[in-house]
Structure 1
Amino acid sequence: MDMDNSGGLTPEQTERVVAVAMDLAREGRTEQLLEFLAHGLPADVRDPAGNTLLMLAAYHGHADSVRALIRHGADPDLRNGRDQSPLAGALFKGADDVVTVLIEAGADLDSGTPTARATAAMFGRDHLLAG
């Protein structure tokens, strides 16, 4: 889970904080998510499956949350435990606005399995990668 200073929380409490933050990312609740970051939650914290907040926000189509997480230092290329990138997830889900945000943030089109390029080709979304 990569939290250097959990503020004296027990492992169970830390796990719960991360789970709540992941739910906020899935739901696109940007302001609440930013409160967690303001109180020390790392932008690139991972859940047990290796998903980051950015991965979940991207996969669920929340461009504003993705943009905010990137502004707060989230790495747009961190892949989950299945080697999937946030960009490939957004392409798979058809979240065109999220794809645009990630490309503008410099997301790697060739990282992960499958790559964003391969995912775009599979789903007929090549035009989104042609900056």
Structure 2
Amino acid sequence: MSDPTRLEPQQVFDLARQGADVLLDLVNAGLPVDMADESGNTLLMLAAYHGHAELTAGLADRGADVNRLNGKNQAPLAGAVFKNETDVIRVLVEHGADPDAGNPSARATAQMFGRELPEPGVR
């Protein structure tokens, strides 16, 4: 499965939803790290929303845009805050995610649920 050209796009997006580490191998082999589905959800967005902190970090380390909004103007960090995925939130903040990106923003989402966003740390 190291040839990204042999997979259907839906299979790739399913790997992101499942948190499959092989996705990082595919990116290393040439799969676009910011590949997005028809709704504008990137691999990182899908991994983050489904709670896969290690895959989210791996994609960010490979250059995935942690602030890229989907077609509904939603940011990965806001999705992680909504789902209360604390490890993913930490990873995204450490990789420079903007708490004010998107609508509603991660900051607004945190306020809605009475949660606090972590302060950016030194990577």
- TM above 0.5: yes
Runs of 4+ in 1 over 4 A off after TM superposition: none
CA RMSD, Structure 1 to Structure 2 (Å): 1.7
Preserved contact between residue 117 and residue 129 of structure 1 (Cα < 8 Å): no
In 1: Cα distance, 2:62 partner to 2:30 partner: 11
Counterpart of 1:89, as a letter, is: G
> Number of matched residues?
117
- TM-score by structure 2 length? 0.88
Ranges in structure 2 where 5+ consecutive residues have no aligned partner: none
CA distance in 2, matches of 1:27, 1:122: 28
Q: Alpha-carbon deviations, 1:19-58, whole Å to 9, x = none?
A: 211111101112x101211221110010001000000000
TM-score by length of 1: 0.83
**Aligned equivalents of 1:58 and 1:123: distance in 2?**
18
Distance of 1:21 and 1:34 partners within structure 2: 11
Structure 1 unaligned residues grouped into runs of 5+:
1-6
Q: % of aligned pairs identical?
A: 52
Give the alignment of 1:1-131 within 5 angstroms.
16=8, 18-30=9-21, 32-126=22-116, 128-131=117-120
User: 1 or 2, which has the higher helix percentage?
Assistant: 1
Q: Which has the larger radius of gyration?
A: 1
